Amino acid sequence: MITFSKKFKTPLPLEWIHKEQVIRLNPLKRARNIKLTYDSKRNHFRLTTPVYITKKEIEEFLMRADAWLDDKIQQNNESVNLDHGSIVPVLGQACRIHFQKDIKRKIIFGTDIITVFDHQEKYTELLEDGIKKKALEFLTKKSHEFAEMLEVSIQKIVVRNTYSRWGSCSASGNLSYSWRLIFAPLEVLEYVCAHEVSHRKYMDHSKAFWQTVASLSPHYHKHRSWLKAEGKQLFRYRFYSRSKIK
């Protein structure tokens, strides 16, 4: 089924296929030019256009953008599928993923191996659930450690698949983290915890706030810079399995 957008003066499909890629159209009244962007976090292309545009104009623009598209597609091919045999960093330690058929459904995190057992071969579902729980476990433990040091309270802690921020702290003391932090260096996870727990004392980014962060994470400048420069790499990891383990 093809869905057409009513935003366009001439009805056009909301999604286009070009170079075997799905490109989502985003018509805006205030747009004066055509703009093609790639969202590495959500893994899709977005084409922002004026509402006054024709099919021919879109096709011609995409043809001119072929070289740019090829570059982005190549980058996307560098994604890491979390499958049997894949190596993934977990809490700062490189771990190999191993799927094993077994009557008991469970996941075991070893020093350098993650073993997933399942009799129905639904390994990826169990792996995703296990990694998210592992992230929550570490972030919860570290957050409470820092909260005790600062003598502040914490209410609920959750992990989400967030794209715009690595963590947040509400006025009531609820903390939320991106579960993808589990793929970052251990010190970076600790910095994010220090950052959010420090908001329990200062709900701002004042000098006093950053001094509090520094008391928990002395090299926070380094870890903050790492997230800005390398944080997008944490979105390379995708749960997709084609493996059938005998």
| Cβ-proximal residues to 224 (8 Å cutoff; 6+ apart), any chain | 191
Residues lower than pLDDT 70 in the chain? 1-11, 20, 40-43, 74-78, 240-246
Instruction: Clarify whether residues 149 and 177 are in a common domain.
Output: yes
Biggest distance spanned by C-alpha atoms of the chain: 63
Whether residue 126 sits in one domain with residue 199: yes
For residue 144, the model assigns a pLDDT of 98
Residues 106 and 183 in one domain: yes
Mark whether 89 and 71 lie in a shared domain. Answer: no
Would you say residue 52 lies in a domain?
yes
Query: Phi-psi bin for 194: left (phi > 0), alpha (psi -120 to 50), beta?
Result: alpha
Q: pLDDT value at position 75? A: 65
Q: Are residues 70 and 85 in the same domain?
A: no
pLDDT of residue 4: 38
Domain membership of residue 228 as a residue range = 81-237
For residues 43 and 95, membership in a common domain is answered with no
- Supply angle C-alpha 32, 38, 41, rounded to 5: 135
Exposure letters 176-189 (e unless 16+ CB within 10 A, then b): bbbbbbbbbbbebb
**Which of 76, 107, 138 represents a domain boundary (last residue)?**
76
The pLDDT assigned to 5 comes to: 46
Between CA 140 and CA 169, with CA 160 as vertex, the angle to 5 degrees is: 60
What CATH number does the domain containing 213 carry?
A: 3.30.2010.10
- pTM (whole model) above 0.75: no
**Are residues 83 and 124 in contact, defined by beta-carbon separation less than 8 angstroms?**
yes
pLDDT at residue 241 in the model: 52
pLDDT in tens, 111-162: 999 999 998 778 989 999 999 999 999 999 999 999 999 999 999 999 999 8
What pLDDT score does 160 carry?
94
Q: Please indicate, yes or no, whether residues 29 and 116 belong to a single structural domain of this protein.
A: no
Q: Are residues 72 and 110 in the same domain?
A: no
